Structure formats: C-alpha cells, structure tokens
Structure 1
Amino acid sequence: MPEQRRSRRAFLASAAGVGVALAGCSSASGSASRGTGATDGSGSGPVSVLSAGSLELAFGKGLSEAVDTDLRVESHGSSTVARLVSEGQRDPDIVALADTALFDGPLHPSWYSVFASNAVVIAYNPNTEAGERLGEAGPENWYDVLLDEDVTLGRTDPTQDPLGYRALFTLELASRYYDDANDLRERIPERDQIYPETGLISQFESGNVDAAVAYRNMAVERDYDYIDLPDRIDLGNPKYEDDWYATVSYTAPSGKTTKGGLIGYGSTVRDVNPTTKAVFETLTTGDYLEAYGFEVPASYPETHGNPPSAFAE
C-alpha cells in the first residue's frame, strides 16, 4: 500500500495573493462574456477561462505566468461551470472541467482535449487531535478515524462538483477494498460536511474541519498533509478503471447517473483565434501542471471529437 506523503512547500509565499487576484477576474452576477476575450476575432484582448475549482490556483498563478496574455480566470465546481455555460450565464473563451463526462451533457462541444489526471486523497490538519490520529492511522486505517462522530470532515456537493461524487465513489470502493470496512459511503457522509470546492481545503486554516476528501493537487499546492490512498480506490490509476472504478455510480436528484472512472481533466476553446489557441496549447501541455500536483500521462493531451483546422496542425 502507498505510504502517507507530506506535500511540497514550493509555492506558499508566491501563492498567497492569488485569491485576491482571482477575485477581480470573476463575476458573481453578470456574464463573463466571450467578448472580453477577443471582440474582433484577432485575439488582441484578454482571454477568459471558466474552470473547475481544483484548477483555480494552477490557472490563476501557474498558467497566467506561463502565457504572454491577460488571463481572466473564474472557477467553480465543474458541474456548476457546465450549467453556467449551457444556460448562457457565462460565455468564456476557454472552458476546463474536472470530468470530461460533462462534455456529453449539459455541454456538447464538437471537440475537447484531455490534459491532466488526479487522485482522491484524505487531507488532514495535523494541528487538531483528530487530524493527528488520521496521520497516525495512515492508508490502512483512515476510515476508522472518519467514522468517529467527533471528527469534522469536509467534502464537496456531488450535485455541483465531480469531486463530490468522486468522494462517494472512493468511500464505496474502500468498503470493498478493506476487509473490515462496511458501508462507508452511507456511514461517513451522514453529517453536514459540504463546502465549495474552491474553499474546501482552506477550511483547515479557519479550523472548521479536521479532514477533507480532496484531490491530491489541492493538498500539494497548499502544502497540507494528506494520506495517499490505495490505487484501487483513489480513481487515479488507469489499470483499475474498468474492474474497479467503473463499478460505482452516482444518481443526482435530477435522475442523471454518473458512472465512476479515471479522473480526467478536459478543456475546449469556444472562441478560436491566435491568442486563445496559444493559451490553450500552454494550458494543455505546460510544465506548470505537474508543479501544481496534477498527473500528466505521457499520452496527454488527447483530443476527442473534431477540432477546428487551427488545432489540426
């Protein structure tokens, strides 16, 4: 089994101001118009990117520094991002989601590129009594600690964010993987634990939670302690996609069912011009992704569908 890891400390100082910078790039009530990207089709203006919450820091800091363009980044849970675009409340130049299934509905682009992967981990606060116990329990017994009703756990809303239903997938798979773990999907999420993806890990700083079901990159880029879970339950190893990950699912209140699978981040360009093309190419191939804790398999990026001729070179 994997050993517990301590995340890197490379960006604490440089990342401190990112939240303030991103706040000026988002719109809480209006539409993030694609016109803010390139009103004349020349790509001379800023580029607007609407992204999954787990990409917020990587895009707002890493990608922004890697491109010679004014980047306007707004981040939410991926299901919310897809809904905002499909309902016409946002009109970004580029969309990036944490689950490519959302490109099959509610979004229906003619193409997209899969550019990164991730894994589910248990992040914890070592400065609390429960967090200290989690660290000691490690990848073999973490679930016993989370079953304690005195332990506060954070997770995201499965109706708004893929991390929310992936947390449920991980708990169900853990019940099958460990000999003495029963009905974790039903027993652990019983309490009020829901937080927005963009603020989930920061709950450690406010003292609201002892632990969180998070993506590995979210813990790595913020230098939080986390437990690396076995490959069969962390949704991050292609080897187990069919026999393990695909055996679980989540049905939303709307009736839509999402099947488990390997974590994959996908992106598409909605306003193609030289500037958005350059940003997209850096977004999907830049070294910044691994620095921010994402996995980038050798085969990535992988294009699906029929991209415009500008991307067929």
Structure 2
Amino acid sequence: MTFYIHKSLCFSEHKGDRMSKKIGVCIAVVIVLLLMGASYYYFFIRESRTKLVVMHAGSLTLPFDYLENRFEENNLDVDVQMRSGGSAQLVRSIIDLNKKSDVLAVADYSLIKNELIPEYASWYINFARDRMVLAYTDSSRYSSEVNEANWYEILEMDNVVFGFSNPNDDPCGYRALMVIQLAEIYYNNSKIFDNLIVENTYITISESNGTYTITCPENIAPNQKVSVRTKSVDLIYLLQSNDLDYAFEYRSVAVQHNLKFLTLPEAIDLSNTSYEDTYKKVKVNRFPDQSSSGKPIVYGLTIPKNAEHRDTAISFVKFLLEEYKNGKMDKFGQPAIVPAFVNNKTALPEELKDYVTE
C-alpha cells in the first residue's frame, strides 16, 4: 500500500517552525528589554538615591537592619547604608580618619559625650538600655551546672574557653572587664579578676581608695583560654561552632541569636541605676588614651557634624525614635528610653524635640 502526504501538511509544518522562531525571537527581545530596564534601574534610579550612611554598634545590627528596611519602604529615594563595628572603633574612625557618617549610634553614649562633643558633634540622644549576661549553648562545657553562684568558677576551669570583645574597640569588651571586677566585690573574692583576666592576657589592674583601674594595652595577647574579637557579635559564631564555651554579651544579642544565657546579679550586670555608685568603682583605660567608667548600659546616637545628608539623617532619627517609642523594637531585647533623653535640647534639630526630654 502506498501512502501520500498532502502538501498542505508540509506547509503547516513549515509555518509552525517559523512561528516557533518568531516566538523565540520575541522571548529574547523581552529578556533583553528586561535586562535593559534592570540596568537602567540600577545605574540611574538606584544609584541616584540619597545614600544615607549609618554607623552603628555591632549589637544594633539586627534592629537596625529592620529599621533600614522599614525606612526604605517609606522613602524610595533613600538607600540606607549600614556600617557596623565596635562603638569605640567607629568613634575613632570619625576622629582619626575623618570617616563621614550621617547617623552614629553607639552602645555607650558617653563615647559621644566625652570624645565627639563639641568638635565632631553637638548633641546626643539616649534611646535604649541593655544589660550584660553570660551567653552559652547546650554544647558549652558544664552548661547544665553553671549558675549565678558559680559561673566564675566554671570559667576558671582548665578545659573551659570564654571570650569577650576587644575593650579597646568595643564597649561590650570593657564592660565585660567591669563585670568581672565587680564580681570580686559582690562575691567577696579578690582572685576572680586575676584568675580570669590577668593570668590569661596582658591586661592589668590596680586599686586606689576603693577604685579599681583596669588598663588595656594595644596588644591584649590572650592565651588559648580566652578569645577576643573586635565586636561582641563576632563571638556568636564561635559559640555556635563550639569553639567557645561562654561569652560575655549583651542580653539583647543573646536574645536576637537565640542563645542561652545566664542572668547576672544587678549589682554587677550594669543594668540598674540604683547601683551607679557601685558600678563607678571600676574604670577601664583603653589604648591609646581613652578611659571609661562603670555606669548603666545606655545606647546613644547623634548626627555628626560631618554628615553629608543632614535632612535625611533627621528623618531617619525621627523614624527610629518613633519605632522605639511605639514598642516596635521591643522584640530585639533593648528596652526603649521613653521619652528619650537629650543632653542639649537647644542644639537639637527642631524636628526631633518632641521626642526627647532634657
């Protein structure tokens, strides 16, 4: 039997090929146009947005990521550029390196008060509080045994590794040293600081008339028992990887990263204004020539004088204060100061005066 294929079928097949090619060309054109649009957006629209530089303490990373996203949603012409670091390190970068920042938020307001005002800033706002804790994980040695009464003895054990941030760079680091010395007073044990710090680093301590002065050299030189990092949040990864058993952290950082933590007595955790006279018995001299005295933990912010986008910075600070005031930031574990405190209301931008008290 012989079969014949009608020419119309052949014709349809060729038409289908041509149609497929046309569809392919159309798809390619659409892709090119999309890529051109994306390139246009990136190079002309996105790059033309106001770049608001916000320097902030490492412990503010997660809350400020939230603020960045929320602020940009409501201000499409602004690109918030977050830069985290140890608070003392950030302050020095403005002073020593003339780094420009539109907003500066630090974990210790006194860094602004004592080192930036009046030359580099005119005012500061205190907007949140925190407290020191001892963070750990289920894998930490003796994690099932550590408690408020024996934590320093656990840290002294030969096979336990603990850490804190660099006191020359980060307030959490010099506060960790304060906590350890305050523990000597609280537990009536004069060997705690020597056993944990002096024997394992180049950090020294002296006492005069009931005031303890801790001195941090440029090279802290921790041995294998102690781990020191630039920012306190850098220690989180060491805890999670089981390279570290315990770390002195802010409670907020432990909460944000779902870490276990030991709540320390208020007499040593730098949280309660009722213990101000006790806290100030400890002072830390930081390399090269700065000094910090014990006091309750308070976060502070300012708009430095070298800010390049002052109006946008004011809008961001206003937004930040609103979010803290309205309880939106409570989930990050840093209790808001409401109303926020300002040291110099006269110097404060008018747009911010309704959010603060002097």
Identity in percent: 28
Determine whether 1:183 maps to 2:222: no
- Aligned-residue offset at 1:274: 4.2
Q: Which one of the candidate residues 173, 177, 190 is aligned to 1:164?
A: 173
Counterparts of 1:92-241 in structure 2, within 5 Å, are: 92-108=101-117, 109-128=121-140, 130=141, 133-179=142-188, 181-189=189-197, 190=200, 191=223, 192-197=226-231, 198-241=233-276
The 8 Å contact of residues 113 and 302 in structure 1, kept in 2 or not, is answered as yes
| Residue in 1 that maps onto 2:313 | 276
AA of the residue aligned to 1:301: A
Q: Which one of the candidate residues 243, 249, 273 is aligned to 2:283?
A: 249
- Aligned-residue offset at 1:99: 0.9
Q: Which one of the candidate residues 63, 66, 76 is aligned to 2:70?
A: 66
Distance 1:139 1:120 in 2: 13
Distance 1:239 1:135 in 2: 31
- Indicate the structure whose relative CO is greater, using CA pairs within 8 Å and at least 6 residues apart: 1
Distance 1:277 1:254 in 2: 33
- Aligned-residue offset at 1:273: 4.3
- Aligned-residue offset at 1:135: 4.1
The 8 Å contact of residues 135 and 227 in structure 1, kept in 2 or not, is answered as no
Partner SS, residue 270 of structure 2: coil
Partner SS, residue 116 of structure 2: coil
| Residue in 1 that maps onto 2:342 | 303
Unmatched runs of 5 consecutive residues or more in structure 1:
1-38
Distance 2:61 2:328 in 1: 13
Partner SS, residue 136 of structure 1: coil
Partner SS, residue 223 of structure 1: coil
- Aligned-residue offset at 1:91: 0.5
Partner SS, residue 71 of structure 1: strand
**Once superposed, which parts of structure 1, at least 4 consecutive aligned residues long, lie more than 4 Å away?**
none
Query: How many equivalent residue pairs?
Result: 265
Higher-Rg member (1/2)? 2
Q: Deviations over 1:156-209 (max 9, x none)?
A: 111111111100100011111114x33322221224420121411121122210
Question: What's the TM-score, normalizing by structure 1?
Answer: 0.79
Q: Which one of the candidate residues 75, 90, 93 is aligned to 1:81?
A: 90
Distance 2:143 2:155 in 1: 8
Partner SS, residue 127 of structure 2: strand
Partner SS, residue 111 of structure 1: coil
Describe the shift of the 1:88–1:255 C-alpha distance in structure 2 as closer, same or farther (beyond 3 A): closer
RMSD: 2.1
- Aligned-residue offset at 1:220: 0.2
The 8 Å contact of residues 318 and 352 in structure 2, kept in 1 or not, is answered as no
